[in-house]
Structure 1
Amino acid sequence: MKVAIAGAGAVGRSIARELLENEHEVTLLERNPDHIDVDAIPGAHWRLGDACELSLLESVHLEDFDVVIAASGDDKVNVVVSLLAKTEFAVPRVVARVNDPRNEWLFDEAWGVDVAVSTPRMLASLVEEAVAVGDLVHLMEFRTGQANLIEITLPVDTPWGGKPLRKLQLPRDAALVTILRGSRVIVPQADEPLEGGDELLFVAITEVEDELRELLLHPQPR
Structure 2
Amino acid sequence: MCPISFTKPIRKPKRGSVKMRAILVGCGRAGAELAARLAAAGHAVTVIDIAAEAFDNLPANFLGHVIQAEALNQDVLVNAGVQEADCLAALTNSDALNAVVGHIARTVYNVPRVVVRTYDPRWAPVHAAFELESVNSVQWNATRFEELMLTPDLVTLQPLGGGEIALYELAVPAAWAGRRLEELAQEPEVVIAGVSRGDVSLLPAADWVLEAGDRVALSTTAAGAARLRARLDQGA
TM-score by length of 1: 0.72
Which one of 52, 62, 68 corresponds to residue 33 of structure 1? Answer: 52
After TM superposition, give the deviation of residue 5 of structure 1 in Å.
0.7
Which one of 91, 94, 98 corresponds to residue 111 of structure 2? Answer: 91
* Aligned match of 2:27: 8
After TM superposition, give the deviation of residue 41 of structure 1 in Å.
5.0
* Aligned match of 1:52: 72
After TM superposition, give the deviation of residue 94 of structure 1 in Å.
2.2
Q: Tell me, in whole angstroms, the C-alpha distance in 2 between the residues paired with 1:169 and 1:216.
A: 15
Preserved CA contact (<8 Å) 1:125 1:139: no
Q: Tell me, in whole angstroms, the C-alpha distance in 2 between the residues paired with 1:51 and 1:146.
A: 33
Superposed CA RMSD in Å reads 3.5
* Aligned match of 2:185: 168
Preserved CA contact (<8 Å) 1:134 1:154: no
Between 21-30 and 53-62, the greater mean CA deviation after superposition: 53-62
Letter in 2 for 1:200: V
Identity of aligned residues (%): 25
Larger Rg: 2
Between 194-203 and 80-89, the greater mean CA deviation after superposition: 194-203
Preserved CA contact (<8 Å) 1:133 1:155: no
Which one of 146, 150, 157 corresponds to residue 128 of structure 1? Answer: 146
After TM superposition, give the deviation of residue 36 of structure 1 in Å.
4.2
After TM superposition, give the deviation of residue 127 of structure 1 in Å.
2.5
How many pairs align?
211
Matched, 1:110 2:118: no
Q: Given the superposition, is the C-alpha separation of residues 65 and 169 from structure 1 closer, same or farther in structure 2, using an over 3 Å criterion?
A: farther
* Aligned match of 1:202: 218
Residue-by-residue CA offset, 1:153-188 (whole Å, 9 max, x unaligned): 443212x7441459724766x65444455x536243
Preserved CA contact (<8 Å) 2:39 2:62: no
Q: Given the superposition, is the C-alpha separation of residues 212 and 142 from structure 1 closer, same or farther in structure 2, using an over 3 Å criterion?
A: closer
After TM superposition, give the deviation of residue 203 of structure 1 in Å.
4.2
Q: Structure 2: any 5+ residue segments left out of the alignment? A: 1-19
TM-score by length of 2: 0.69
Between 73-82 and 49-58, the greater mean CA deviation after superposition: 49-58
* Aligned match of 1:66: 86
Q: Structure 1: any 5+ residue segments left out of the alignment? A: none
Q: Tell me, in whole angstroms, the C-alpha distance in 2 between the residues paired with 1:163 and 1:213.
A: 21
Q: Given the superposition, is the C-alpha separation of residues 90 and 189 from structure 1 closer, same or farther in structure 2, using an over 3 Å criterion?
A: farther
After TM superposition, give the deviation of residue 24 of structure 1 in Å.
2.4
Q: Tell me, in whole angstroms, the C-alpha distance in 2 between the residues paired with 1:164 and 1:34.
A: 53
After TM superposition, give the deviation of residue 217 of structure 1 in Å.
6.0
Which one of 200, 203, 206 corresponds to residue 188 of structure 1? Answer: 203
After TM superposition, give the deviation of residue 72 of structure 1 in Å.
0.9
Residue-by-residue CA offset, 1:83-120 (whole Å, 9 max, x unaligned): 12222223232222223x354534633233213131x3
Preserved CA contact (<8 Å) 1:70 1:97: yes
